[in-house]
Amino acid sequence: MASSDNHPDFDAVVVGAGFAGLGMLRRLREEHGMSVQVYETGAGVGGTWYWNRYPGARCDSESYIYCFSFSQELLQDWNWSGKYPEQPEILSYLNHVADRFDLRRNIQFNTRVTSARFREDINLWEVQTDQNNRVTSQFLITGIGCISSGNVPSIKGLDSFEGEWYHTGRWPHEKVEFSGKRVAVIGTGSSGIQSIPVIARQAEHLTVFQRTPQYTIPARHDTVDRKFLEDVVKPNYDEIFEQARWSTGGFPVNRDERSALQVTAAERLEAYEAGWAEGGIRFLSTSFKDIGTDRRANDTMAEFIRKKIREIVADPETTEKLMPTDHPFGSKRPLIDTDYFATYNQENVELVDIRHSPIQEITPDGIRTEDQQFQFDMIVFATGFDAMTGTYLRMDIRGRNDLSLQDKWSEGPKTYLGLQTAEFPNLFMITGPGSPSVLSNMPVSIEQHIDWIAGLLQYVREHDIKSVEAHVDAEAAWVSHVNEVAEPTMYMLADSWYLGANIPGKPRVFMPYVGGVGTYREKCNEIADNGYEGFILA
């Protein structure tokens, strides 16, 4: 039942109970005394980490920095076991946070928000769920994740397939058995390259269907370095997070300020070999300053990786198929792996290049490409997500004058700072399109948005403001700025999900903000210090 006057049921409705939703709930309830209702589709907390249970699923950020920083006690008490956190461990962490801060009592699980409408007559959001909730709130805050709407490509015949099929982003909770089975994996993004080596160790036969060859760096995954954690990280957590907050990617690392083209070939090779040996995202975030902006500099790194692929993979034909030559390194989401290329040396693993021989249809017993019929017991779709906007547009969100977000964003997402979109008062997006989000270590970006939104809501209360809305001119200027900074980068030279290129018909717009986490934070702070410049506070 919705309130009939302008007394809302809740101060804020938060959508989603992943990192963003949990953090926002705690902040508003505990530090601002607000009433908050969270709705979550899953049966438990975790968001991305609730759904992505596929074999090998883990985060590419190192565990010690992939967490909340708001509580020193939490930072000190929690002990990660892996260098990179694996999905079950991240899920345990988020469950621990939910319990420790008693968050569950404000979360309604198994509930999808189907629509949200801004009621101009009462200045409130009216939120509707698939469980027949209809509630009002002053603020609507989305913590719905950037890569949460799975993309199962519409391939003719999928309905007729008689085996099992799964999408990595909606992996079953029950154990999936690969042994003795002929398995197909379609897609070689993060989810594919993480799951392929694990599935290959169990399946009777694995066939990988690759559309775009990838650059990937060894993760060098291991158990956590206890000494590093106890001696270096835990006593210095404040400084570590502070460095991450002002960095480019939300990691406490410094980039090499040299150009790849200004050092000698021997120095360059030495740097790349050291990065390869150390492994992980650091390879990208600490490498030469112009890898992301200068094609010639980028080529030096791309060629280094191609050479590594040639060294690792035994079969020349497979090596050729795996060669990434059609896009610069780092222009698609950088990948880190464990034994990905070496997996193709296994007898039971086969690679099919679907650029040259596209999938024609799925048949009751397998997959038919232009050249061949394959038989499978199982198909795994590691085909990614309708990223950054998909989950927003699946809800029917309506602002002033019944304007739908679908219409507002028909040419691509338009936001001010990735936090608000004009005509949708009091709607805030945590890591929305137009913010660094997916180009950064997510918890750092999520906490920055939580802090900023909470600060604004506090200001609103103190100044008896009823609504906050991005000014359309400020929004237009921000959208231009987001495009402008992306334009000279390598990101524009690949068909990536950052650009919406993986979804047929999706507008080709670069969605995240490449300006860097620190620069972005500075801009957000300046805007707040200037009385929330660019926002209409009514």
Applying CB under 6 A, which residues contact ligand NA7?
Answer: 147, 153, 168, 186-192, 211-212, 333, 354, 382-385, 438, 497, 502
Q: Which is nearer to ligand NA7, 54 or 68 (CB)?
A: 54
Is 274 strand, coil or helix? helix
CB of 126 to ligand NA7, least distance (A): 33
Q: Which is nearer to ligand NA7, 147 or 457 (CB)?
A: 147
> Any idea what DSSP says for residue 232?
I
Q: What whole-number distance in Å separates Cα of residue 416 and Cα of residue 429? A: 10
Contact 55, 172 (CB under 8 A): no
Tokens 């390598």 correspond to what residue?
490
Q: Which is nearer to ligand NA7, 277 or 501 (CB)?
A: 501
E strands, 161-315, are 164-167, 182-186, 205-210, 216-218
Q: How far is CA 137 from the centre of its chain?
A: 27
CB of 191 to ligand NA7, least distance (A): 3
Q: What whole-number distance in Å separates Cα of residue 340 and Cα of residue 495? A: 22
CB of 441 to ligand NA7, least distance (A): 11
Phi/psi of residue 58, nearest 5 degrees: -160, 170
Q: Which is nearer to ligand NA7, 52 or 415 (CB)?
A: 52
Contact 94, 103 (CB under 8 A): no
**What is the CA angle 109-112-118, rounded to 5?**
120
CB of 61 to ligand NA7, least distance (A): 10
CB of 303 to ligand NA7, least distance (A): 20
Q: Which helix (H) or strand (E) holds 486?
A: helix 472-486
Contact 144, 390 (CB under 8 A): no
Alpha helices in 101-236 (DSSP H): 190-202, 226-227
Residue 218 neighbours by CB distance under 10 Å? 20
CB of 517 to ligand NA7, least distance (A): 16
CB of 385 to ligand NA7, least distance (A): 6
Q: Which is nearer to ligand NA7, 211 or 282 (CB)?
A: 211
The per-residue b/e assignment along 64-96, b for 16 or more CB within 10 angstroms, e otherwise, is: bbbbbbbeeebbeebebebbbbbbebbbbbbbe
Q: Which is nearer to ligand NA7, 137 or 437 (CB)?
A: 437
Q: Which is nearer to ligand NA7, 29 or 327 (CB)?
A: 327
CB of 201 to ligand NA7, least distance (A): 19
Is 251 strand, coil or helix? coil
CB of 91 to ligand NA7, least distance (A): 15
3-state secondary structure 393-442: HHCEEECHHHCEHHHHCCCCCCCECCCECCCCCCEEECCCECECHHHCCH
Q: Which is nearer to ligand NA7, 67 or 438 (CB)?
A: 438
> Any idea what DSSP says for residue 27?
I
Residue with the shortest CB distance to ligand NA7:
189
Residue 368 class from Cβ within 10 Å (0-12 exposed, 13-18 middle, 19+ buried)?
middle
Q: Which is nearer to ligand NA7, 63 or 133 (CB)?
A: 63
Q: Which is nearer to ligand NA7, 415 or 502 (CB)?
A: 502
CB of 374 to ligand NA7, least distance (A): 14
Q: Which is nearer to ligand NA7, 53 or 333 (CB)?
A: 333
- From the list 153, 200, 179, the residue with the least C-alpha distance to 56 is 200
Contact 508, 483 (CB under 8 A): no
Contact 290, 258 (CB under 8 A): no
Q: Which is nearer to ligand NA7, 187 or 249 (CB)?
A: 187
> Could you tell me the sign of the dihedral formed by the alpha carbons of 41, 176, 19, 43, in that order?
positive
Q: Which is nearer to ligand NA7, 53 or 268 (CB)?
A: 53
Q: What whole-number distance in Å separates Cα of residue 157 and Cα of residue 364? A: 8
Residue 252 class from Cβ within 10 Å (0-12 exposed, 13-18 middle, 19+ buried)?
buried
CB of 150 to ligand NA7, least distance (A): 8
CB of 187 to ligand NA7, least distance (A): 3
Contact 437, 146 (CB under 8 A): yes
Is 454 strand, coil or helix? helix
CB of 147 to ligand NA7, least distance (A): 5
